[in-house]
A and B are shown apart, each in its own frame.
Chain A
Amino acid sequence: MKIHEYQGKAILKKFGIPIQDGLVIENLRDAEKAIENVQKQFKSEAVVVKAQIHAGGRGKGGGVKFSPTKEIALENVKNILGMNLITHQTGPAGQKVGKVFVTEAIDIEKEFYAALTLDRSRGDHIFMVSTEGGMDIETVAANTPEKISKVWINPLVGMKNYQARNLAYGLHLSGDAFKTTVDVFLKMYKCYQETDASLIEINPLVLTTSQTVLALDAKFNFDDNAKYRQAEIVGMRDLDEEDHTEVEAGKFHLNYIKLDGDVGCMVNGAGLAMATMDIIKLAGGEPANFLDVGGTANVDTVKNGFKIILSDKHVRAVLINIFGGIVRCDRVANGVIQAVKELDLMIPVIVRLEGTNATEAKKLLSDSGLTIIPADSMMDAAHKVVNAAHANQESTCQF
């Protein structure tokens, strides 16, 4: 799960990390008051207007504007609030800006990068900092790896002071700035632990001209598995930032991801679902989605699965691929038949069932009198669904 910059900064602030602060507005009518309040609070005429979307690259996309006066700030809020912001992370469709963060303007002396995440291969947490703040860290890692300092943190031991000091030395800091930065790094680790974050990235962390250190941005990712114990974080979820259909699928406990093709698929198990998408492509089709219906495929899951898949109007045919393990295939087949009847489906449905009672299941499907096409192997199923999708497309074109 992801959150907005202003929410991330509020979390950092709660853990005692200094931030560039401000006020969030969702309505243009609140803009003038917010700008005045920020000006008053930080005793400066200049403010920064920042679009709040989950994707990165907001500055380059025109979503972050330095505003020297109230009038310019107001103009910038007007332009940014409600705009469709396109960045390298949003994709060509862009993301509508629903919230704007009006913050104090900061006089920057130096920009740094700081991030904390999991190193899967070592099973340790990794804390990375770089003197090249404000830049894409992958580019820095590729071109000037010597500008990145790293420490690995054993989760049993936690982050030690010497590790935070080594990171701050890596940024060539001294004096009070050094001390503050060490403190910031230790607090970042505490925050990472206590919020079940899978990533905290502060880019940039800045040294101001008055020699203070603060977070100018905050990016958080959270572990979905820990939602049950992070109610406050879950409350920060912004559904406007997520794909509508994927949110709907989540309500039915289905794992759905929309893709660009026209061949829908419904599969039990994530690995088999990916393999099914791959074989559709290999058979000459384009998968319309990833959909894992989980271990048990009953009438309700199949029905909900169809609803989710068919909400995508590009879908021309659907492949159901279920490996019936402990769930018997004849039961799954009955579920499919009932779902197709109840939903009055007009689209070709190819069903491949393997496992217990697969033969009986195939007979049930053939005898159903519905537009269900049974398939034998995965390759057979993939060819059948791709052909059906093509045929369906041609017939649509004729009308």
Chain B
Amino acid sequence: MSILVNKNSRVIVQGITGSEGSFHAAQMIEYGTQIVGGVTPGKGGQTALDEKVPVFNSVVNARQKTCANVSIIFVPPAFAAEAIIEASDAGIEVIVCITEGIPVHDMVVVKKIVDSNGTRLVGPNCPGIITVDECKLGIMPGFITRPGSVGVISKSGTLTYEAIDQLVKVGLGQTTAIGIGGDPIIGTDMRTVLELFEKDEETGAVVLIGEIGGQMEIDAARWAKVNMTKPIVAFIAGQTAPPGRRMGHAGAIVSGGDDTAAAKMKILSECGISVCESVAEIGEKTKSLLEKGIDG
């Protein structure tokens, strides 16, 4: 068990003939992901990655020929919004969009469409999803993970790797790690991922990594307080971020009130979540929490 993707996921890569798409498709195949096809309009009938992967003109076509149910998108920002809609309309169940820089006015439309189609979109502007030793659907380094029982949710890329690395160093493996992205409009929020981890039998604890800006961490914490039986360890990045400045991620901006790191940390603690003061505590804190759980 795991969430969203596993060894049975049949994956297509939209934008497989581009440099990013082909590079990461090869990396994903190496990890063991079932890449069954690629999509590049106008290049249907060709093959990619040394003739290993068939390329199709459209997602509909790729889905008919390969029975794909999952897609990962490496299409440039001007075309990525449409690529998501195309995959969703073709009946793809899980879409991960890696592309950074999609205009917000495009994403609000995309979000309405994927929601009404019932598609699970992760991202955009995210590192993707990895279910340890089964399926890597993203750009993260797969070798840093170990199989185990901790689920990881994060808004950022390298900070997710840092958390995974710390968990591994204290002897804790992961079920699935998911980077949801740092844009103002994203397909899947933290609360939804918490719900999925709560239902997943193999996941025993969750590490949640948030940052300044928006209300998502707070919404997730309030939901968890009522519904979550598994322990959560959280870290919020941006305690030293000045207000009104966008810290890299388009969504990471303190606009006053509840969206500062301090305010989020306080509310998360009040909701029963173990909050780390520093990023360096993530591994140890999760370990001690799990040990306490076993003793009790």
What is A's interface to B at a CB cutoff of 8 Å?
118, 120-121, 123-125, 138, 154-156, 193, 196, 198, 223-226, 228-229, 255, 257, 259, 267-282, 287, 290, 292, 295, 323-326, 354-356, 377-379, 382
Contacts and interface: CB of A to CB of B under 8 A. Distances in A.
A257 B112 contact: no
Interface of B: 27, 77-78, 101-105, 108-109, 111-113, 115, 139-141, 143-144, 154-162, 165, 182, 184-185, 209, 211-212, 214-216, 219, 235, 237-242, 245, 247-252, 256, 261, 277-280
Given A279-B279, A282-B277, A326-B141, A274 B241 contact: yes
Tell me the interface secondary structure of chain A in the complex: mixed
29 contacts: A118-B104, A120-B251, A121-B216, A121-B219, A154-B112, A225-B101, A225-B103, A269-B158, A270-B182, A270-B248, A271-B156, A271-B182, A272-B157, A273-B247, A274-B247, A274-B248, A275-B237, A277-B241, A278-B240, A281-B239, A287-B240, A290-B247, A295-B139, A323-B162, A323-B165, A354-B165, A355-B141, A355-B144, A382-B280
A278 B108 contact: no
Contacts of A223: 103-105, 250
Contacts of A229: 78, 103
Contacts of A124: 108
Contacts of A326: 27, 139, 141
B161 A274 contact: no
Contact of B280 (A120, A292, A378): A378
A307 to B, nearest CB: 19
Contact of A274 (B219, B250, B252, B278): B252
Nearest to B212: A274
Nearest to B27: A326
By Cβ-Cβ distance, the 10 closest A-B pairs, closest first, are A271-B156, A270-B248, A269-B158, A271-B159, A325-B141, A226-B103, A274-B237, A275-B279, A379-B280, A272-B158
Given A118-B108, A323-B158, A355-B141, A225 B279 contact: no
Contacts of A277: 238, 240-241
A311 B211 CA distance: 28
A120 B101 contact: no
B279 A193 contact: no
A378 B161 CA distance: 13
B247 A225 contact: no
A354 B164 CA distance: 12
A290 B247 CA distance: 7
